[in-house]
Chains A and B, each alone.
Chain A
Amino acid sequence: MSIGVNLDVMLAKRKMKLQDLAALVDITPQNLSVLKAGRAKAIRFSTLEAICKHLSCQPGDILFFTEEDTARRE
């Protein structure tokens, strides 16, 4: 069981690059890449808030729960 991250899907929908979002959210591209790859252990509410604000989406559009170990929705 794990929480998956759909950040790449939202970035594609909003036609935004990872580096641009990282600059807007004020975190490093490396950290955002960790989040995108599903390797993050935790996310701060402040970071989630900033991501949702700049991607104009809800937290559920970025995060999902899955019974499987993989963190990506096909």
Chain B
Amino acid sequence: MNKISRVSGAVLLLLDAAFYTFPILLVFSWACIETACAKKVMDCLLYAGPVCTPDALIGLTKVRWTPFTQFLGFCSSVLAWAPAYGGLHYLRRIFAHYKEGAIFSSENALCYSRLGQLFLLNAFIALPLSDGLMVAAVTFSNPVGQRYVCIGASTANLFQCLCAGIFMVVSWVMLEASKLAEEQQLTI
């Protein structure tokens, strides 16, 4: 139990660090997007690749940003990363429970269920909306007739749905198992 507690404590520290620094990095990268440091943060940490528009692939650090498009881009980022940030919050709760010794509790099962729901939210709402908003942000400065808003679904959405399904099944099994364990524990 001590080993689980120690490892969980270490993971919890890492998750706490990510939980508190991530919003700062996100705000910094968009507020100071013209600086080299913010571009590095954006390239290395926040975004996997260029934005796919109907005309071309556009790198976020290559765009000429105006305050309005910067705000649109920031909103898109917040929308894209909100489910992941929520997931981080539930992971912190899970590892806090692990650190206290509650491994197969119903609270942990509920947290896993919430993680599954966040994957679904990401697949059906966050990803499509944020992608559309980001395309709008990077093409807003283009000439009239070359500005786009794209809403779509791809393999990434399907993968999120698969992860959601797996997490929900795992949480259901954990919940049933915790009920059985409680019954065992309260059998005199």
Where the two chains meet, the residues of A that have a C-beta atom closer than 8 Å to any C-beta of B are: 27, 31-32, 34-35, 39-44, 47
Contact = CB atoms under 8 A, between A and B. Distances in A.
Nearest to A43: B188
Interface of B: 182-183, 186-188
A60 to B, nearest CB: 18
Given A41-B183, A43-B188, 17 more contacts: A27-B188, A34-B186, A34-B188, A35-B188, A39-B186, A40-B186, A40-B187, A40-B188, A41-B182, A41-B186, A41-B187, A42-B183, A42-B186, A43-B187, A44-B187, A44-B188, A47-B188
A31 B183 CA distance: 13
B172 to A, nearest CB: 21
Closest 3 CB pairs of A and B: A41-B186, A42-B187, A35-B188
A26 to B, nearest CB: 12
Contacts of A42: 183, 186-188
B182 to A, nearest CB: 7
Contacts of A32: 188
B35 to A, nearest CB: 61
A29 to B, nearest CB: 12
A41 B188 CA distance: 8
Contacts of B183: 41-42
